[in-house]
Structures are given as C-alpha cells and as structure tokens.
Chains A and B, each alone.
Chain A
Amino acid sequence: MTDLLITPEDDAFRKQIRDFAARELDPDTRAKVARGAPLSREDFLGWHLSLHAVGWVAPSWPTEHGGPGWTARQRMIADEEFFRQHCPPMPGFGLKMIGPILIRFGSADQQARFLPRILSGEDWWCQGFSEPGAGSDLASLRTRATRIDGGWIVSGSKTWTTYAQYANWIFCLVRTDPQVKKQQGISIMLIDMATPGVSRRPIRLMDGTEEVNEIFLDDVFVPDALVVGEVNMGWTYAKALLEHERLGIGGVGRSKHLLERVRGMARAAGLDDDHETRSRLAALEIDIIAVEATTLRLLAAAEAGRPLGAETSLLKIRGTEIQQALTELALDIAGQSALPAAESGCLEPPFENVAYQFLNWRKLSIYGGSNEIQRSILAAQVLGL
C-alpha cells in the first residue's frame, strides 16, 4: 500500500499510535473490524474508553476542552493508523458534531455540562436532523417548537437516526419561527432521550441490521438552557458543523483498510494472479492515492492560510465511490461464497461480510448530503454555475 504521509518527523508519531492500538484494542473488537462485521455498542465504547484514558478520544478538539493538540496532519496519520490496526471507526455524533458545535456556539454552562461527558463516554449522542419529509432538502424540516414560559414545546418526528438505541441525548434541528424564510427559522436543541414524549421505533435495514431509527417527539418540553446559541441561528451553526473536519471526509484510511481486505480475499480465492482482479485492485489503489494527494494538497493550502471551501465535497464523492467500488469487487471475487446469511453457519471466511458490506455501504453515497447534492454544491459554489 502506497503511503504519502510518511516523513521522518511523522514516523515517531505513527509508531506511538500503532503501538498504542496494538496494545489496547480488545482482540474480539479487532477481529470484527478486520472482517467487516457489524459492531456493537460495547465495541465502540470499549475503544472510546481506551482512547479517553490517554486523552486521544477527541483529536479535533482544542486542548482547553480536552483535545490532544494534534495538527491536522497528525490527525490524518492517526486516523489511517487506527484503521490499519483494525480499530472501530468512532461514530462522530458527539465527538465530531455536537461537541464542536458546543465548543463554538454553546454557552459556558452547556460546555461545562456536556463536553466532559462526551469525552468520558457517559453520554452517547445521536443526530436528529433528517425527517420523513426533509432529507436532501433539510431546510424544509417541520418539527415545530412553540414558545412557553421557560422553554419550548417540541413536536414532530425525526428519521434515519443512527444508533439512537444507544443514545441518551439527541441534538435536533427544529423550527422555531415558521414565518421567516425556511433557513432562518431553525434552532438547535439538546434533548434528553428520557424526557416524556420522546419515543423510538427501530428501522430494519435490508442488510438485516437495525442501526437507524425513527424518533417521535410528542409535546416534549425543552428548557431555554438547552437551546444552542441564539434562537433561529441553527441553520448557520449546522452549516458551520458541516465544514468541520472537511478534510477527513475522503475516508482514505477506511478505503485503504477495505482495499487490504479485498486483496486478502483475492488471495483466498486464488485470484491473486488473475489479470482482471489485479488490475482492478491496482486501479482502485491509484484512485485512493489521488484522493489522498488531493487531501494533502488542500491541507497544504489550508496550512498556508487559504481557507477550505466547498471544494472538499469532491473528497466525499470520490471517497465514497471508491469504497462502494471496493465492495463490488469483493462480491465479484467472492462469487457464491458471499451468499449464505449470517445465521446459516455456512459462511466462509474471509467472505462472510461481503454481502452485508455491499448492502450497508450503499448508505455512503446517500447520507451526509447525497453525492448528487455534493455535485450540485461543487457546480454552484465552486464552479459558479
């Protein structure tokens, strides 16, 4: 595997990360990640606690809030090295979404109350943005908050809420002013999942997992203290959030991890000398290099003081296309061995999760702004069309 991030200065850092992961990661979790199996709450939380113990759980947070003080380059190295050591990719809802929002826009009370609990793993957050009627057109969301004394009464429903079954808190976009232009009447509210009126229905995905949910909000009381920043500024805050960690969205570490797995599958299937398989693997490795090079080029520009803009959408588009292409190559290599379902006891390693991953990773081009929406962003905001 080609590595563009290797410089002598980075070597010591990389080694530190690698040794830590080799020492601390639970072997069962490592084995699951290595074979692409679905992960449980315990898998995520166990690794979260290991990282927290050494102060590495929130790489992008400023040191005064508990971040490790890594540079952007070091964060990329760590991400890649953690993948290489088969560490679980941590859900970002607390660490990469609401945490950074609170750091930038939250009150001192909110920061003091929530940030330490995100770091410690005591709180698990989920993201309540999408609604049945508001997906790509998120700003058309209809969950409504009505003003009462001391707070708001919230009603509506959220959907596709990832891992809500593990969460005790949800951050929601809600409409606080229906009279103004749709982007201008939205606020971010923090809701305790145990509040009366909050309920959940799991959604079964075609891959057989239940990683997403519907959340119903029925006259849920939210005190003023749990509105983030100013009322009606939610859209602006959410957009700022989407710009956070933009350089990571190419998912280079994730792609390399899968590429290596698929190489292993080719060997297991006796196809490592097959011309077509080899050239498809090589072409995908080159695609990954191109994403990595683009990421590093944008990083260099950012380090030289040029702010990152919408062009980072290209990383998400290409990164997810590569990952999906890898799941398809894995299917082609596995042939019939990909078919028996998990319960059958007839699975053949290393092909056991190939079908699951193909089905599950179709989400990569849908969520977080679909690839069509990302292309519209490039066309409008970068190309001026």
Chain B
Amino acid sequence: MTMQIRFEMPSDEALLLKDMAERFVADHYSLAQRSRMLAAPATELPAHWPRMADLGWLGAALPEACGGLGLSPQQVLPLIEVLGAGLVLEPVTPATLQCATVIARLLPEDRASDVLAPILAGQQIEVLVAGPDGMEPAVSARPVPGGWELSGTVRLVPGGAAAAAFWVAVDIDGAAVLRVPAAEAEVTAYRLLDGQAAASVCFDGVLCPPDACWTGARAALDAGAEMALFGALAETSGLVAALLRATLDHVKLREQFGRPIGRFQTVQHRLADMYICREEVRSMVQLAAEAMAGEASDKRRRLLSAAKVKTGDCARAVVRDAIQFHGGMGMTDELAVGHMVKRLLVLGQAGGTRAGHLTAFSAAS
C-alpha cells in the first residue's frame, strides 16, 4: 500500500480555532459547570450550541459553498481534540461531522445551504439515523401512495435527544436518505453513561413525501460514516493526551511512603507506556486525517480501520493505568479522570467493533 503522507502542520487558521477552543473549555467547561449542564433535560438544545456556531466550529469541515469553513480533516483535528478533551456535551461529531457531511454531499449545493443554514447558525440540531456502523439502514421504507412509510426503531441515536429532524438511512433500490421532522417520530431521550444526550427513535408508520427523499446516497453515507469515525478518533486522541497529563500531575503530587508515587520505578515505567500510547494515537489519527483527504477510498477505509483498532487498544491501556495510578480517587465521579474514562469508553464502543475493523483491514490488503 503506497500513499504519500506528509504529516502536514496545522495552518494558522487551525491553530486559531484550537486556541479559541482551549479558552472556551477553560471558561465554560469546569467540572462544576458541566455537571450543572448535565442536570438540564437532554431534550434541550445544549447550552453552548449557538456560541459554537458563532465561533465557526459547526461548519468547520463543510465546504465553503454550503456555508462552512472548508477545512480539511487535518485542519479540524486540533479543534476536535480540544473539544474531546474538554468533555463538551454538544453533539459536534454526530451533527456537524457526520450528518452535515451527508447533507452537503447528497443535496444540490443551493438546497444543501438552505437546509444547513439553521444548523450552522446554531438554531437547531439534525442527526443521522442509521445502524451502528453509520452507513447501513436500520429502518425500513415501504412505498405507499404519497411517498414512503417508515417503520423501525433505532435505540441509540447519538445527539438525537434534542434533534429537530432526523436524516434516516433506508434502502429504496439502493441507499437512500429521508428527512423526517422529529415531531413525527417517537423520541425517547436519555443520556449515555458519559452524559452525552442520545435518543431511542421509533418510526411507527411515518409517512414521508417524495420531496424529502434522496436516492443514490451510498457515497454520501459512506463519507458521513468516515467523518463520524474520524471525529471519534480525534476526540479520543485529545482525551488520551488529557488523561496522561492528569495522571502525570497526580503522580508528581500524591505522596506515599514519604515520596511522590511518581518516584517509584514501576510507576515511571507505566507512565512511559502511557506516553508511548499517546504518541501512537496521535500518529494514527493524523494518518487517518491525511488519508481522509486522499482520493483512494479503499486505502482511506483501510487506514481508518487501522487507526480505530490501534487507538482503541491504546485508549484502553491508558484508561487502565490512569485509574490505577489515581488509586481510589480514580474510581470516583469527583475528578475529571472518571469523566474522561467514561467518554473514552463510549467512544471506544461506537463506530464498529474491533473485530469488524480487523476483518475490514485484512480484507482490504
């Protein structure tokens, strides 16, 4: 497999976004502020969605023609890493990286800009409803007079709790997507164990008119799924780095047996292993970002699978030792560590299984 990878440096624009995100997280996402937000009903538009729109983050990865900033995956990576490490509760990845990508790819340009405008303005959230891989339909569509009738339930729709509309992947002689206002579905909102708002969405004979149906959606759905996977990898990368930082700070401060526990060689070696993991995660996620910008879809898919497997393994190793070296404190809900662990757990479980990605990787070689 040959592919030129340059490990391009972030542009000034990307660094500016990252700096702003760091400031935003410091100002708005202390643990106390975050736990107040978690007390709000999951069905409410999350507190900072409009502000994120003002800062340009919601359209960062979308084409300029659709009202976005037109940044490449490499250039949005630093922003998503910071938002991931900051444990933000706004559904940036499912709404703006996945669903908005599908919309931008699938609809004619002017129609896409119209549909995306309220999302990019921070007025509403729209998300995709598909199977766990983000591509395959999980809802069935039956032709009826006046359009299509949808039936089926998807139990986990990330970001679905406060969504104004769903873009539902279905099979109509090939991949198609239907847009359904949320009011027409039965939405059971809840929070995942990391606090992110999600929903179980049930379509019980919902009628969908032909002008809300787009066929020939395979490429758009694939692109959305790749962006969703990339977003999760970027968040993972930010979190792994943050967990290492937190653990490093802790072992320098925590004293047992008359010295900081970071002075014990076992602890030092295991922290060195965590550092190795962080570096490998960074490399793999950057590799995935560059591959996303490339043309060859089989190589892109293969590298994304490789990044998912390696990142998942490293994240799990880092989670284990971050908790272990915090001792009892690492088990609590009272430090950021526990919340980062839960976020990593959720990110690791989503986006396809390890076994599935290993199979995809070896099949594509």
Contact = CB atoms under 8 A, between A and B. Distances in A.
Given A345-B190, A372-B266, A336 B350 contact: yes
A41 interface: no
Given A345-B190, A366-B324, A358 B198 contact: no
Nearest to B333: A204
A123 to B, nearest CB: 25
B193 interface: yes
Contacts of A375: 266
A185 B30 CA distance: 42
Interface in A324-364: 324, 328, 331-332, 334-336, 338-341, 343-346, 348, 355, 358-359, 362-363
Interface in B232-274: 256-258, 261, 264, 266-267
B190 A370 contact: no
A232 interface: no
B116 to A, nearest CB: 27
Interface in A122-144: 130, 135-137, 140
A160 B327 CA distance: 11
Contact of A338 (B188, B324, B331, B349): B349
Given A137-B257, A203-B332, A359-B342, A340 B190 contact: yes
Interface of B: 132, 155-156, 188, 190-193, 198, 200, 256-258, 261, 264, 266-267, 316, 320, 323-324, 327-328, 330-334, 338-339, 341-342, 345-346, 348-350, 352-355, 358
B255 to A, nearest CB: 8
B323 A136 contact: no
A136 B256 contact: yes
A370 B327 contact: yes
A343 B198 CA distance: 13
B341 A336 contact: no
A206 B342 contact: yes
A205 B333 contact: yes
Contacts, number: 123
Interface residues of A, number: 45
Interface of A: 130, 135-137, 140, 159-160, 203-206, 208, 212, 271, 274, 276-277, 324, 328, 331-332, 334-336, 338-341, 343-346, 348, 355, 358-359, 362-363, 365-367, 370-372, 375
Contacts of A271: 355
Contacts of B327: 135-136, 366, 370
A331 B349 CA distance: 7
Contacts of B200: 340, 344-346
By Cβ-Cβ distance, the 3 closest A-B pairs, closest first, are A206-B338, A344-B190, A137-B256
Contacts of A203: 332, 334
8 contacts: A130-B328, A206-B331, A340-B155, A345-B188, A346-B200, A362-B320, A362-B324, A363-B331
